[in-house]
């Protein structure tokens, strides 16, 4: 199958690599920065362009991956859907709920497959946790705790990731959406009741002294903009009485090793499970004859970008979607939006 990649940045490159290994042919690489498009296109024997017009017109390419900064997700995805392309759209689905709704309407109106890039569903532990929950190993899950605590992990400091006008927000809309989707996916997307949360912007006002551990999309621009939150904490309640506690930070003064970098915990009335986001096993506690029995279940590590793409390509062929849907992307976005709207502005 021929595919087009729109956005030849850090994640566009990962998708291009995954495509080669998933039996897809990268036929187009589009980036507003033509040199960037050409560099990636050359590696894959693809056409490069700085506009998607020729890709929209190419009937031999029926599917695209949208991997541009968040601000342009809605415009690019809607243009692709209106051009009759099936779309794998990077997370977050968009910057606002209204944009998500417009994307979903375009997918529906054009009868296209739309999958959102919540790739943590496809990690070894993500897949295993979902199957254990579906097997009923926890019983009824009534609480989930999702946490990512980076000490100095702000991505693209000073550039678009930290510029609200382009990113739509900070740690919450960037990595928080992965945690929210994974938790809800394992819990079968219970209906939302209400959300209470707070966001924090501790490092933006002193970004010049920010000494980083890691930098996605680096190097940093210390003269640039940092006007988004670097952390968010929230409690999400669902109509069935279950809850999700969310703790996400790009940066924070977490003591280590006592604070794990990441953890997902699910508590059910018959058992519980926990794992690290990129771990290789799930810890399961199950009630057996009145006692709690602990078990470590190893997970075979798949390549999650490849797996995500395979599910998308299968969906394109079978006209279905067994990955994250646009409706789920919109629900995740509505949780994010409610946290932003409800957050107190510090006095």
Ligand X SMILES: NC(=O)c1ccc[n+]([C@@H]2O[C@H](COP(=O)([O-])OP(=O)(O)OC[C@H]3O[C@@H](n4cnc5c(N)ncnc54)[C@H](O)[C@@H]3O)[C@@H](O)[C@H]2O)c1
Give the binding site for ligand X (CB under 6 A): 6-12, 30-33, 36, 67-70, 72, 76, 90-91, 117, 119, 174, 217
Nearest residue (CB) to ligand X, 221 versus 287? 221
265, 275 in Cβ contact below 8 A?
A: no
Q: State the Cα–Cα distance between residues 87 and 80, nearest whole angstrom.
A: 7
Q: How far is the CB of 139 from ligand X (least distance, A)?
A: 31
Q: How far is the CB of 8 from ligand X (least distance, A)?
A: 5
Q: How far is the CB of 53 from ligand X (least distance, A)?
A: 12
Q: State the Cα–Cα distance between residues 40 and 51, nearest whole angstrom.
A: 15
Nearest residue (CB) to ligand X, 122 versus 238? 122
Q: How far is the CB of 35 from ligand X (least distance, A)?
A: 10
Q: How far is the CB of 9 from ligand X (least distance, A)?
A: 2
Residue that is written with structure tokens 């279905």 in the block: 320
Residue that is written with structure tokens 């809850």 in the block: 243
Q: How far is the CB of 3 from ligand X (least distance, A)?
A: 15
Q: How far is the CB of 267 from ligand X (least distance, A)?
A: 26
Q: Which neighbouring-strand residues pair with 264?
A: 146, 275
Reduced to 3 states, what is the DSSP secondary structure of residue 285? Answer: strand
Nearest residue (CB) to ligand X, 123 versus 199? 123
Nearest residue (CB) to ligand X, 144 versus 173? 173
Q: Put residue 346 in one of left, alpha, beta given phi > 0 → left and psi -120 to 50 → alpha.
A: beta
Cα within 13 Å of Cα(152), Cβ side: 8
Cα torsion angle, 178, 184, 185, 189, sign = negative
Cβ neighbours of 260 (radius 10 Å): 15
Nearest residue (CB) to ligand X, 116 versus 236? 116
Q: State the Cα–Cα distance between residues 3 and 61, nearest whole angstrom.
A: 6
Q: How far is the CB of 308 from ligand X (least distance, A)?
A: 8
Cα torsion angle, 238, 242, 248, 253, sign = positive
Nearest residue (CB) to ligand X, 11 versus 267? 11
Nearest residue (CB) to ligand X, 72 versus 142? 72
Minimal CB distance to ligand X: which residue? 9
The residue among 278, 274, 249, 279 whose CA lies nearest residue 264 is 274
Q: State the Cα–Cα distance between residues 205 and 223, nearest whole angstrom.
A: 12
Nearest residue (CB) to ligand X, 48 versus 267? 48
102, 89 in Cβ contact below 8 A?
A: no
301, 282 in Cβ contact below 8 A?
A: no
């Amino acid at each position: 199958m021929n595919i087009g990649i729109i956005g030849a940045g850090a994640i566009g490159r990962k998708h291009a690599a995954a495509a080669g290994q998933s039996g897809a042919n990268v036929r187009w690489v589009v980036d507003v920065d033509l040199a960037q498009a050409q560099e990636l296109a050359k590696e894959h024997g693809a056409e490069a362009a700085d506009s998607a017009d020729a890709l929209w017109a190419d009937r031999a390419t029926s599917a695209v991956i949208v991997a541009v900064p968040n601000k342009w997700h809605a415009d690019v995805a809607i243009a692709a859907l209106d051009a009759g392309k099936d779309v794998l759209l990077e997370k977050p689905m968009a910057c606002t709920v209204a944009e998500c709704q417009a994307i979903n309407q375009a997918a529906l109106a054009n009868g296209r497959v739309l999958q959102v890039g919540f790739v943590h569903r496809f990690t070894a532990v993500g897949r295993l946790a979902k199957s254990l929950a579906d097997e009923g190993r926890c019983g009824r899950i009534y609480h989930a705790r999702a946490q990512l605590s980076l000490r100095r992990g702000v991505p693209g400091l000073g550039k678009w990731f930290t510029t609200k006008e382009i990113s739509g927000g900070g740690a919450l809309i960037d990595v928080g959406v992965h945690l929210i989707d994974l938790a809800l996916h394992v819990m079968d997307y219970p209906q939302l009741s209400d959300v209470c949360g707070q966001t924090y912007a501790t490092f933006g006002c002193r970004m010049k002294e920010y000494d980083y551990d890691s930098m996605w999309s680096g190097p940093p621009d210390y003269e640039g903009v940092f006007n988004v939150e670097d952390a968010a904490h929230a409690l999400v309640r669902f109509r069935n009485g279950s809850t999700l506690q969310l703790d996400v930070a790009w940066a924070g003064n977490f003591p280590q090793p006592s604070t794990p970098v990441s953890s997902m915990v699910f508590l059910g009335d018959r058992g519980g499970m926990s794992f690290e986001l990129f771990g290789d096993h799930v810890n399961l506690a199950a009630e057996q004859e009145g006692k709690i029995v602990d078990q470590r279940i190893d997970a075979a590590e798949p390549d999650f970008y490849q797996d995500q793409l395979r599910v998308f390509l299968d969906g394109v062929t079978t006209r279905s979607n067994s990955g994250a849907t646009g409706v789920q992307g919109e629900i995740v976005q509505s949780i994010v939006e409610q946290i932003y709207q409800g957050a107190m502005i510090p006095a």
